[in-house]
A and B are shown apart, each in its own frame.
Chain A
Amino acid sequence: MNVELNAVNKHFGQVHANKDITLTIPSGSIQGILGENGAGKSTLMKILSGYFQADSGSILLNDKQVVIHSPADAIRHGIGMLHQDPLDFPPMKVIDNFLVGGGERHRGGDQHRGGAVNRRGNALFPNYKQIIKEINELAGQFGFAIDPEAYIDAMTVGERQQVEILRLLWLGVQVLILDEPTTGISTAQKKKLFSTLKILAEQGKTVIFVSHKLEDVEVLCDRVAVLRQGELVGISFPPYNTDNLVSQMFGKLITPGSRIVCTRDKPVLELHNVSIEEYRLSIQDVSLQVRAGEVIGLAGMEGSGQPILLRTCAGLVRSVAGKICINNKDLTGKNHHVFKRHGTAYMPASRMEEGLIPGLTLTEHFVLSDDKQHGMFIEWDKAQRNTEKQIQEFNIRGRPSTPVEALSGGNQQRALLALLNEPLSLILMEHPTRGLDIESSIYIWRKLKERCRQGAAILFISSDLEEILHYSDRILVFFAGKVSKPIDAASTTVDQLGQLIGGKGWEAA
């Protein structure tokens, strides 16, 4: 299906999120939409998929002007969006997730045109057998190993994404929008995703791929549109000129800083033969010594056990055997608040669920995080001055009275960083730069390295191998609950690391 956006405008209060965007996407192509956070990519896609209405401008599908009122309406027009966080129902089965969307009322894919409606049953009595057959057929086309009877909450992000793609195709979608689909999935799943998208394009479907990852866009897309501050600043075709794309995205060229090592001798974290048993996964017999100022990257596919080990180091998960020491103090079996008092900080991946408190302002957050309470009453004036200082220091785009949910993702991450107490011995982070643009990522790491110079050690999880190799001193690789011996980052290449993550070369290591 040909998709045409004509002079689309969208305002959110003072912010002009989309400025006169005109873009034509021919059917059978993979269109990349590139831009940093807040460039207006998601807004544009949400307009196309019926989440928002444009303030002005028009949408044409196969040269016919349409008005899309809601996501359900978009599906009826053949447009489906795969969101960054899967919008599925985790406690339900795959098949139930298919049915919740009201699939029995929609036409199937082209090959099912006609008889499909009846064969799928009706809204009250869906034909489970037929639908399971259709799911298996679709999954077979792309080589997905999806069991229609499996429960969603037992799946990885990558698998849930596959389920969602199948569901949209099953609903008869001709235009597939993917919002940052490569965050949080493994390399193998990414490969599979890309081959799937190429098959879909060959079938004549239109694929729109939204990302801020240059390398993904470069290998996948037939054409790339770059957005900056709400404006369409350029359209390119392969072969791409990377420097050119970067300067279009940011208005200037950016390179990450060089490797800095600030490891000292003092051990801050020691794991002695730690074993952890969690639902579906167990980690056996991990021993590790982390010194002050050291950065350890935890690499591995999603679901290989990195977060469990990280949470154990924070006292959020209890180990079943072994000893955990922070600053030479045995804290085995203690809860998170004890770890916190001994200088441990934990920063989770989901910022609004496990880090910030929606509805509270920046000032209120800084007051809450301050471990030095001065009397019973809060001195709001002083708190506000302190917040202003932090906002400047951490370059947060917001005011002391801004509620945190109004901040953009990058600014939320900066705020979380600013909320860390001083001094700290150990910082534990899940995906410190997930969803952030290059500029914000570099900024976050500069701040983290400052902490290292002050003597804090950092353990972090990332699915970005470049990030792990560039910022870590040593790397732990996880594979299905197995944890490698620490590997020296400086003498490891992306390929070597990728093989270990995929489960190869473990005997040697």
Chain B
Amino acid sequence: MLNKKSLWTMPVSFWHNIGFQVIAIILALAFTSLILVMAGAPPLLAYKNILEGAFSSSTQISNVLVAWVPLLLATTALLVTFTAGLWNIGIEGQITLGAIFTTGMLRLLLGSDLPPGIIILLGFLAGMLGGALWAFLAGALKAFGGVNEIFGGLGLNFVATALTIYLIFGPWKRPGVGSMSGTVPFPPSFMLPTLSGLRISLWAIAIGIGGLAIIYLLIQGTYFGLRLKAVGRNMRSSFLLGIPTTRYMILSFIICGILAGTAGAIQVTGVYGRLIPSISSGYGFLGLMVAMLIAYRAIWVIPVAFFFAALNIGSIRLPIVLQLDSALSGILQGSLVLFVLMMSGIQQRFFNNKGEKHP
């Protein structure tokens, strides 16, 4: 199911791999350029605009970082479930539930006298709980109900979206009439402190990197991580080796949910300041793409997530400057993943297993 390559170590034929990845990137760029030409836009100008949109000023770089942190957390979260051999498609819903729980907690504390730091901390804890709960549901459905985590997660995603809409237009609606623009914004004291004049918070960056560091250590260095890896690769053997496999599977969902919930909490306290209908911003699905692209190797999360975030932010100006849809970044991201997977398939089929043709 998962790529058989080791998750955490560098491949032996490092340069060989790099060569194939470069070819994949070139192919993805060529493919995207072809689409641009077909749409009647000059490709080079489009790429130049994306780069400028992402890096031309400190404001823009800070915006990239704003998108990077939740993507970083989502990808990190997915590394845990991928290690356990699980396709946690439900991560979108887990981010959403994190945001909902954070919003709910902050609403409860609106009139309280607690210091802002404590309020934000409680908001984050609630978010983690929400994400963990939603992930636990997906895990329990799989472990006890025999529902494949892909289908369970997909279903729970829809429920999470519906719940958001219900809350925004129902119990949590703005005074008067509910609106797609979300719930009433929280006061600035409920938000993570940002750098002056910019939207990015150093706290958010610290949480993102801290989360990755913890998961890296967990999987690379601990008994827990090794057992998780074992469960992901062969559940039957793991059970016979004495690992409580069901417990480990559900724990991996819960850890993933905690990180996803944290991403949701950051979306509320660090980005939007309220609950909006698409609060997860698709970072869960984007995280799945990043995880596949880096073949589940933790060290690559930081740069690749940053690159994807830059594409997202950089393409925002495309509609204004070139009358192109900003979905172009999605085409580039998607084709990049497909070509990289294709090249690694080609590499394995024709170069690693010389002459062997296993069915």
Q: List 10 A-B contacts (CB under 8 A).
A: A354-B240, A357-B230, A358-B234, A359-B4, A367-B226, A368-B238, A368-B241, A368-B243, A377-B222, A378-B222
Cβ of A240 < 8 Å from any Cβ of B? no
Provide the residues of chain B in CB contact with A52, threshold 8 Å.
Answer: 355-357
Q: Determine the distance from Cα of A373 to Cα of B229 in the docked complex, in whole angstroms.
A: 17
Min CB gap B238→A, angstroms: 7
Cβ of B203 < 8 Å from any Cβ of A? no
Cβ of B15 < 8 Å from any Cβ of A? no
Q: Determine the distance from Cα of A53 to Cα of B354 in the docked complex, in whole angstroms.
A: 10
Cβ of B274 < 8 Å from any Cβ of A? no
Q: Are A336 and B222 also in contact (CB < 8 A) when A53-B355, A357-B230, A368-B227 are?
A: no
Provide the residues of chain A in CB contact with B233, threshold 8 Å.
Answer: 357-360
Cβ of B224 < 8 Å from any Cβ of A? yes
Q: Determine the distance from Cα of A356 to Cα of B236 in the docked complex, in whole angstroms.
A: 9
| B229 and A360 contacting across the interface, CB-CB below 8 Å | yes
Q: Which residue of B lies closest to A50 (CB)?
A: B357
For window 332-362 of A, CB contacts with B under 8 Å fall at 336-337, 340, 346, 348, 352-360
| A336 and B239 contacting across the interface, CB-CB below 8 Å | yes
Cβ of A51 < 8 Å from any Cβ of B? yes
Interface string of B121-158 (1 = CB under 8 A from A): 00000000000000000000000000000000000000
Cross-chain pair count, CB within 8 angstroms:
69
Provide the residues of chain A in CB contact with B244, threshold 8 Å.
Answer: 337
Cβ of B179 < 8 Å from any Cβ of A? no
For window 236-252 of B, CB contacts with A under 8 Å fall at 236-244
| A378 and B6 contacting across the interface, CB-CB below 8 Å | no
Q: Which residue of B lies closest to A69 (CB)?
A: B357
Interface size on B, residues (CB 8 A): 25
| A364 and B237 contacting across the interface, CB-CB below 8 Å | no
Q: Are A357 and B223 also in contact (CB < 8 A) when A52-B355, A52-B356, A53-B355 are?
A: no
Interface size on A, residues (CB 8 A): 31
Interface string of A37-77 (1 = CB under 8 A from B): 00000000000000111010000000000000010000000
Provide the residues of chain B in CB contact with A55, threshold 8 Å.
Answer: 355
Provide the residues of chain B in CB contact with A340, threshold 8 Å.
Answer: 242
Provide the residues of chain B in CB contact with A359, threshold 8 Å.
Answer: 4, 6, 233
Q: Determine the distance from Cα of A373 to Cα of B223 in the docked complex, in whole angstroms.
A: 8
| B234 and A353 contacting across the interface, CB-CB below 8 Å | yes
Provide the residues of chain A in CB contact with B240, threshold 8 Å.
Answer: 336, 346, 348, 354-355
Q: Determine the distance from Cα of A51 to Cα of B222 in the docked complex, in whole angstroms.
A: 41
Provide the residues of chain A in CB contact with B229, threshold 8 Å.
Answer: 360, 364
Provide the residues of chain B in CB contact with A376, threshold 8 Å.
Answer: 222-224
Cβ of B221 < 8 Å from any Cβ of A? yes
Cβ of A381 < 8 Å from any Cβ of B? no
Provide the residues of chain A in CB contact with B241, threshold 8 Å.
Answer: 357, 365, 368-369, 419
Cβ of A265 < 8 Å from any Cβ of B? no
Q: Which residue of B lies closest to A54 (CB)?
A: B355
Min CB gap A295→B, angstroms: 22
Other than the given A354-B236, A359-B6, A376-B224, 10 more pairs (CB < 8 A) read: A52-B355, A52-B357, A55-B355, A336-B239, A357-B237, A358-B4, A364-B230, A368-B226, A376-B222, A377-B222
Cβ of A215 < 8 Å from any Cβ of B? no
Min CB gap A509→B, angstroms: 34
Provide the residues of chain B in CB contact with A336, threshold 8 Å.
Answer: 239-240
Q: Are A360 and B242 also in contact (CB < 8 A) when A51-B357, A55-B355, A367-B223 are?
A: no
Min CB gap A73→B, angstroms: 11
Q: Determine the distance from Cα of A373 to Cα of B227 in the docked complex, in whole angstroms.
A: 12
Cβ of A371 < 8 Å from any Cβ of B? yes
Provide the residues of chain B in CB contact with A373, threshold 8 Å.
Answer: 223
Min CB gap A120→B, angstroms: 24
For window 301-358 of A, CB contacts with B under 8 Å fall at 336-337, 340, 346, 348, 352-358
Interface string of B268-302 (1 = CB under 8 A from A): 00000000000000000000000000000000000
Min CB gap B62→A, angstroms: 36
Q: Determine the distance from Cα of A51 to Cα of B226 in the docked complex, in whole angstroms.
A: 35
| A378 and B230 contacting across the interface, CB-CB below 8 Å | no
